[in-house]
Amino acid sequence: MAIDPTDPRSPSRQIADELREEITSGRLAPGDALPSEKMLVGRFGTAPATARQAVRLLKEEGLVVAERGKGVYVKRQPPTIRLGSHRFSRQTRAEGKSAFEAEIERQGLEWGQEVLELAEVPAPEWVAEWLGVDAGATVFVRRRRNLVGDTPTQLADSYYRLDTVEDTAIRTPDTGPGGSYARLEEKGLTLERFREEIRIRMPTPTEVQGLRLTPGTPVAELRRIAFGASGPLEVLESVVSGDSHVFCYEFAAPE
Amino acid sequence: MAIDPTDPRSPSRQIADELREEITSGRLAPGDALPSEKMLVGRFGTAPATARQAVRLLKEEGLVVAERGKGVYVKRQPPTIRLGSHRFSRQTRAEGKSAFEAEIERQGLEWGQEVLELAEVPAPEWVAEWLGVDAGATVFVRRRRNLVGDTPTQLADSYYRLDTVEDTAIRTPDTGPGGSYARLEEKGLTLERFREEIRIRMPTPTEVQGLRLTPGTPVAELRRIAFGASGPLEVLESVVSGDSHVFCYEFAAPE
DNA sequence: AAGTGGTCTAGACCACGAT
DNA sequence: TCGTGGTCTAGACCACTTC
Q: Residue B115: pLDDT above 90?
A: yes
Strand-pair partners of B141: B119, B159
Q: What does the pLDDT look like over A133-145, one tens digit per residue?
A: 998 899 999 999 9
Which one has a higher pLDDT value, A171 or A96?
A171
Which one has a higher pLDDT value, B104 or B134?
B134
Mean pLDDT of all residues in A73-101: 76
What's residue A185's pLDDT? Answer: 87
Phi/psi of residue A107, each to 5°? Answer: -105, 10
Cβ-Cβ contacts under 8 Å for A232 (sequence gap 6 or more): A130, A131, A132, A225, A226
Cβ-Cβ contacts under 8 Å for A166 (sequence gap 6 or more): none
pLDDT band at residue B103 under the 50/70/90 scheme: confident
A194 and B219: CB-CB below 8 Å?
no
Query: Contact at 8 Å (CB) between B192 and B228?
Result: yes
What's residue B177's pLDDT? Answer: 83
Average pLDDT in chain A: 89
What's residue A255's pLDDT? Answer: 66
Which one has a higher pLDDT value, B39 or B97?
B39
Mean pLDDT of all residues in A202-228: 94
Task: Look up the pTM and report it.
Answer: 0.91
pLDDT band at residue A179 under the 50/70/90 scheme: confident
Strand D nucleotides, any atom under 7 Å from protein beta carbons: they are 3-12, 15-18
Mean pLDDT of all residues in A41-54: 92
Query: Contact at 8 Å (CB) between A100 and A240?
Result: no
- Fold agreement (A11-74, A81-248): no
CATH code of B11-74, in short, is 1.10.10.10
Query: Longest C-alpha distance within chain A, in Å?
Result: 73
Report the distance from CA of residue A66 to the C1' of nucleotide D9 in Å, as an integer. Answer: 24
Query: Contact at 8 Å (CB) between B74 and B63?
Result: yes
Report the distance from CA of residue A76 to the C1' of nucleotide C7 in Å, as an integer. Answer: 31
Instruction: Give the minimum alpha-carbon distance from B88 to chain A in angstroms, rounded to a whole number.
Output: 6
Cβ-Cβ contacts under 8 Å for B26 (sequence gap 6 or more): none
Q: For B81-248, which CATH class?
A: alpha beta
Report in angstroms the alpha-carbon separations of A189 from A130, A169, A226, A235, B2.
17, 14, 11, 15, 55
Name the residue among B61, B41, B228 with its Cα closest to residue A203: B61
Q: Please give the share of chain B, as a percent, with pLDDT higher than 90.
A: 64
Question: Rounded distance, CA B114 to CA B173, Å?
Answer: 9
Distance of CA B133 to the CA centre of its chain: 28
Mean pLDDT of all residues in A89-105: 70
Report the distance from CA of residue A221 to the C1' of nucleotide D3 in Å, as an integer. Answer: 40
Instruction: Give the minimum alpha-carbon distance from B119 to chain A in angstroms, rounded to a whole number.
Output: 25
What's residue A25's pLDDT? Answer: 95
Name the residue among A147, A142, A146 with its Cα closest to residue A157: A142
Domain ranges in chain A are 11-74, 81-248
Instruction: Give the minimum alpha-carbon distance from A16 to chain B in angstroms, rounded to a whole number.
Output: 11
Q: Residue B32: pLDDT above 90?
A: yes
Chain A interface includes B221 (CB < 8 A): no
Q: Residue A249: pLDDT above 80?
A: yes
pLDDT band at residue A64 under the 50/70/90 scheme: very high
Which residue spans within chain B are E strands per DSSP? Answer: 64-67, 71-74, 81-84, 111-122, 138-148, 151-161, 191-201, 219-228, 231-241, 245-252
- Chain B segment 31-60 residues within 8 A of A by beta carbon are 60
Question: Rounded distance, CA B27 to CA A17, Å?
Answer: 39
